[in-house]
Every structure is written in structure tokens, then in C-alpha cells.
Amino acid sequence: MTRVPLRKALADLPPYVPGARVPVGAAAFKLSSNENPYPPLPSVVLAISDAAEDVNRYPDMYATELTAAIAASLGVAPENVVTGCGSVAVLGHVLTAVCEPGDEVVLPWRSFEAYPIAVTLAGAVGVQVPVGDDGRLDLEAMAAAVTPRTKVVLVCTPNNPTGPAVHADELASFLEAVPKDVLVVLDEAYVEFVRDPQVADGLAVFADHPNVVLLRTFSKAFGLAGLRVGYAVARPRLAGGIRAASTPFGVSHVGQLAALASLRATAELLTRVDAIVAERTRLLGGLRAQGWTVPDSQANFVWLALGDHASAFAERTGRAGVLVRPFAGDGVRISVGEPEATDLLLEVAAEWLAR
């Protein structure tokens, strides 16, 4: 039978594995997807409700009001901001705008599992550089991996799933070593959770380096994961290219109004972020007190390098009512959730070590 052929690249495309969901009718804490455990603020829910009345219309294609509000909140110009359907979609547009077939993209590994997918779909070749045993990006090795064929370098800070963020001094040395015609993408999906004073200021780095693009999202700290709103911050020429490569009407009207309402409620939302950071500190401290070695997470999750035992550990926590995200052969990522979830997770972790 004659069949329509698919792209050869799809045969080796790694699947994106979502975090486990709570089965219908079951009771469990979902710590598998790095979601904000708090529901939207009442003001945001009201904006979503109002927006629902207009879903028969196409949204503003360029998210004009939202783009201006994001720019004002960051102290950049609106022409520097490009919105999209979550920062992962925006990353795809960045790569499409910059990469020719066969170009190389240097990326840390293990890092965000969508990176190899986005690179392959853009027709580029991923060059993976191992993350250190401490969960930190090896920027020196990443700079050494740059060749004349390199078009983009991806820097995930804080790194998902291990947690540490890149320090200012190491990023400065890295940017000195990388050619100025190579695009450096700072993926800052978890930037609001960072408390380490040594961490690089992404906006300041962007201001000083024309070849730097920032990726940010409303999914995590702002609690809008289900509405898919992310954005890039780039120089106007690069931003124009990213915008040209973007999916038309990529951010829904509901998502735009919810993000606008969230920006207006930033102070209130950041109070929730502080609570998540405090719970992260308790989770890290509890695990370390039990004897676990845990990287210094600056995100809303922690990492246990369980290697080949990752899936077994996730199965055990699942039976206890806590869903976590295993990465087979590497480790387990545990999102920071409700205090009750932390208590239960710590109980299971202690039992695991005592086996």
C-alpha cells in the first residue's frame, strides 16, 4: 500500500512526556508538572470570565495591549517583546527564525526535554553538553562545544529539571567566549523563584549583549499554565524575525486578558511565590536532613538523582498519593506544592532511604 511519507527526522524525535495526571476519581497531590499549586486570583478569574464572551472572535494577533504591558513591566520597548503560546512555542519560533537546515544548536543535558524536539523540528542538529553532577550547567564546556556551524546556544536558568541557576560571573565569561553572531537564548521560565544573589540578571545581560534573547512565561509564577502565554525579549530585528515565524493568533483572547490581569496583580501573585519559595526551602531542608544529596534549586521544584531507580521511586510515591516526574535512568523531579504534599513526600522519601 502506498502511503504518504513522514519526515525522516520524526522517526528519531523523542516524545515529550507530560507529568502524570491524577486519575479520575482518585485523590493525590500532583507534583509532576511544575505547576503553581494556587488557583488563579479572583481578579484573574473575572478577566477569564469576561473574555469568554468574545471567544467567537479572533484574538488580537499581536497581543498589542499585553505586549505593551509586558514591556512596561520589564523596562523595555514593545518592539522588543514577542508573545506566543507558552515559552516552548516561542522557542520554536526563535529557532525557526534563526536556524537553517543542518545548523547546530548547543544545549545542556539533562535540561528541558522540549529542547531536542524543538531543535529537530527546526531542521537543526542538537549538540548536547552534559550537566554537572551538582546539577549545574557546564558553561565552559558549552562554550567549547560551539563550532562554525553553531547558530544558537540554549541556557536554561534555573535549569529544568535539576534546579540550579547560572551565576553572573560564569555567564559573563561564557558570553565573552561565544561569538557575537551566535544567538544565546536565556530560558528564564522560573526566574521569579530565584533568590540566589549571585544569579545573573537576565534583563541586564540582555541590555549589554545584542545576541541574547530572553524567554519567559506566565505558566509558573503567574499560575496560567492552562492558558499557554509566554514571550521572548529580543532586539527589534530579531524580534521581528521571531514574530514573522510565529503562529498567527497564537495567544488566545482569554490568555491575553488573563495575563494582563495577572500583571496588574503582580504584587499579590509574588506573595504566593514567596510562599512557594518558603515551601521549597522546607522541602530541600527536609530531604537533606534525611541524607539525600539535592542540588540547590532556584525554581519551584527539586531534583533527586536516583539514576536507574527513578521510575521505582515515582511508582512508590504514586502509591502513597504523590505524583512526581521520573526521568528514566537519571532522576526524579518533584514540584513544590501544598504543605500537606511536602509532608507526605518527606515521609515516603525517608522510608525509601530506610529500605
Q: What pLDDT digit, counting tens, does each position of 86-112 carry?
A: 999 999 999 999 999 999 999 999 999
Query: Is residue 81 within 8 Å of 69, Cβ to Cβ?
Result: no
Burial of 154: CB neighbours in 10 Å, binned 0-12, 13-18, 19+: buried
Give the three-class secondary structure for 108: strand
* pLDDT given for residue 24 in this prediction: 52
Same domain? For 95 and 24 the reply is no
* pLDDT given for residue 14 in this prediction: 84
* pLDDT given for residue 148 in this prediction: 98
Domain stop point among 248, 264, 280:
264
* pLDDT given for residue 318 in this prediction: 95
* pLDDT given for residue 15 in this prediction: 82
CATH number of 155's domain = 3.40.640.10
Query: Is residue 192 within 8 Å of 157, Cβ to Cβ?
Result: no
pTM (predicted TM-score) = 0.95
CATH number of 317's domain = 3.90.1150.10
Same domain? For 229 and 277 the reply is no
Task: Choose among 144, 111, 116: nearest CA to 12.
Answer: 116
Same domain? For 50 and 136 the reply is yes
Same domain? For 210 and 258 the reply is yes
Same domain? For 101 and 230 the reply is yes
Low-confidence ranges of the chain (pLDDT < 70): 1, 24-27
Query: Is residue 81 within 8 Å of 302, Cβ to Cβ?
Result: no
- Would residue 2 count as lying in a domain? no
Same domain? For 142 and 196 the reply is yes
* pLDDT given for residue 343 in this prediction: 97
Domain that holds residue 282: 8-40+267-353
Domain stop point among 246, 264, 282:
264
Same domain? For 162 and 172 the reply is yes
**What gap in Å lies between CA 322 and CA 317, rounded to an integer?**
5
Same domain? For 67 and 200 the reply is yes
Query: Is residue 163 within 8 Å of 301, Cβ to Cβ?
Result: yes
**Structural domains of the chain, count:** 2
* pLDDT given for residue 27 in this prediction: 67
Rg of the chain over CA atoms, in angstroms?
20
Same domain? For 260 and 273 the reply is no
* pLDDT given for residue 274 in this prediction: 98
Contacts of 247 (CB under 8 A, 6+ apart): 84, 85, 89, 93
